[in-house]
């Protein structure tokens, strides 16, 4: 019980990409880049093992960004036709490619890093993919017209990719949907349907990650406007609870989320964020344990998985892996209290 895992991204080695930066450009090219992306994936897996993480991930080492890394091998997207658009309801702006035709996969997108990770760990392996609604919120559209139609098109190709990852030995497939904390009305209207289409037919464990974003200034500034209680989950958890998705990853540590909202996820596994990704202060094991204990008031220990609040790509490696070690140590403290190994 209380098996630890990560939300998704981890810092890339300084020889591969610029450090402590989101959307960091690659430092390598050609064959060297391909080998570097593979080697960084293996390194991330091993460093997670060293930190004591139970369910490891690829750390998104082979992607510039968690969304655009998936888009890179799809037809129907013009990467030369860039648009400056507001992301997450204009929280911040980004230069994004444009959908100009029907969305189709050219071939496998993430098989290289999934194979590398699977070959170098015997632990449970988790792989993250962007959710359909979040993709739609991170790309310009000149073809489909309706956001829900575009999201369903992405859901179909995500499902193809997810089935291939499952066949390669991935145990948990997580869809990242930070947009679920922004467009709450659309979640039950069409977001859940698209999410379930992305996960259709999978026998691997399925998860959805819904957070308040990376620890970047735009997100930190936004959080400062949200008041004393962050109740976004209250509007979406009932719809998620009715869905076929098995696990829900949420933000707990140093947030203003009322933890009793976890009760709205009755029956689901809960990946409780016990690591703050918006702070460079490394948590103590006791601080991690305190967050886990607080979450245990609302979910059974066998259904609770201590996790990070969000991805850690913009952090230094020293801080990020220090936090993962604290996550493991904190979970071990609570397991001991519960009399579990």
Half-sphere exposure of 119 (CA within 13 A, CB side): 11
> What average pLDDT is seen over the chain?
94
- Give the CA diameter of the chain: 58
For residue 124, give the H/E element and its range.
strand 124-130
pTM of the complete model beyond 0.85: yes
Structure token digits, residue 161: 């990719």
Q: pLDDT category, 92, cuts 50, 70, 90?
A: low
Positive or negative CA dihedral for 11, 327, 129, 298?
A: negative
Q: pLDDT category, 82, cuts 50, 70, 90?
A: confident
Q: 262, 270 in Cβ contact below 8 A?
A: yes
Query: What is the model's pLDDT at position 226?
Result: 77
Domains of the chain: 30-337 (3.20.20.210)
Q: What is the mean pLDDT of residues 100-111?
A: 96
The three-class DSSP label of residue 202 is: coil
Find all residues with CB under 8 Å of 64, minimum gap 6, and list them: 17, 23, 24, 25, 26
221 vs 10, more confident: 10
Q: What is the mean pLDDT of residues 257-272?
A: 95
Q: What is the mean pLDDT of residues 161-175?
A: 98
pLDDT in tens, 24-54: 899 999 999 999 999 999 999 999 999 999 9
In the chain, % of residues over pLDDT 70: 98
Query: What is the model's pLDDT at position 220?
Result: 77
Q: 4, 331 in Cβ contact below 8 A?
A: yes
DSSP string, 269-305: EEEEE-S-TT--SPPPHHHHHHHHHHHHTTS-GGGEE
Task: Kindly list the distances between the CA atom of residue 309 and the CA atoms of 37, 128, 190, 253, in Å, as whole numbers in the listed order.
Answer: 24, 14, 25, 7
Instruction: Please give the Cα distance from 282 to 17 (Å, whole number).
Output: 23
């Amino acid at each position: 019980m209380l098996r630890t895992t990560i939300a998704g991204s981890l810092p890339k080695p300084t020889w591969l990409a610029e450090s402590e930066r989101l959307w960091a450009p690659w430092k390598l090219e050609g064959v060297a880049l391909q080998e570097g992306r593979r080697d960084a994936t293996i390194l991330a897996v091993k460093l997670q093992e060293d930190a004591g993480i139970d369910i490891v991930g690829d750390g998104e080492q082979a992607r510039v960004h968690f969304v655009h890394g998936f888009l890179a091998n799809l037809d129907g997207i013009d990467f030369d036709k860039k648009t400056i658009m507001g992301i997450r309801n204009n929280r911040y702006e980004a230069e994004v490619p444009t959908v100009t035709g029907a969305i189709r996969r050219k071939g496998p997108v993430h098989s290289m890093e999934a194979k590398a990770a699977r070959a170098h760990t015997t632990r449970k392996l988790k792989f993250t993919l962007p959710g359909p609604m979040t993709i739609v919120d991170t790309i310009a559209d000149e073809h489909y017209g309706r956001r829900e139609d575009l999201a369903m098109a992405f859901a179909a190709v995500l499902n193809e990719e997810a089935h291939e990852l499952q066949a390669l030995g991935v145990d948990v497939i997580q869809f990242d949907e930070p947009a679920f904390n922004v467009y709450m009305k659309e979640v039950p209207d069409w977001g859940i349907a698209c999410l379930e289409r992305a996960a259709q037919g999978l026998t691997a464990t399925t998860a959805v990650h819904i957070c308040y974003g990376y620890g970047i200034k735009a997100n930190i500034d936004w959080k400062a406007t949200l008041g004393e209680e962050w109740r976004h989950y209250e509007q979406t958890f009932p719809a998620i609870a009715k869905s076929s998705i098995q696990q829900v990853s949420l933000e707990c540590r140093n947030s203003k989320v009322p933890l009793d909202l976890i009760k709205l996820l009755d029956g689901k596994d809960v990946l409780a964020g016990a690591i703050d990704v918006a702070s460079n202060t490394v948590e103590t094991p006791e601080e991690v344990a305190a967050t886990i204990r607080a979450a245990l008031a609302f979910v059974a220990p066998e259904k609770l998985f201590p996790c990070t609040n969000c991805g850690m790509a913009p952090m230094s490696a020293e801080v990020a892996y220090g936090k993962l070690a604290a996550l493991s140590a904190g979970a071990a403290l609570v397991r001991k209290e519960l009399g579990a190994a």
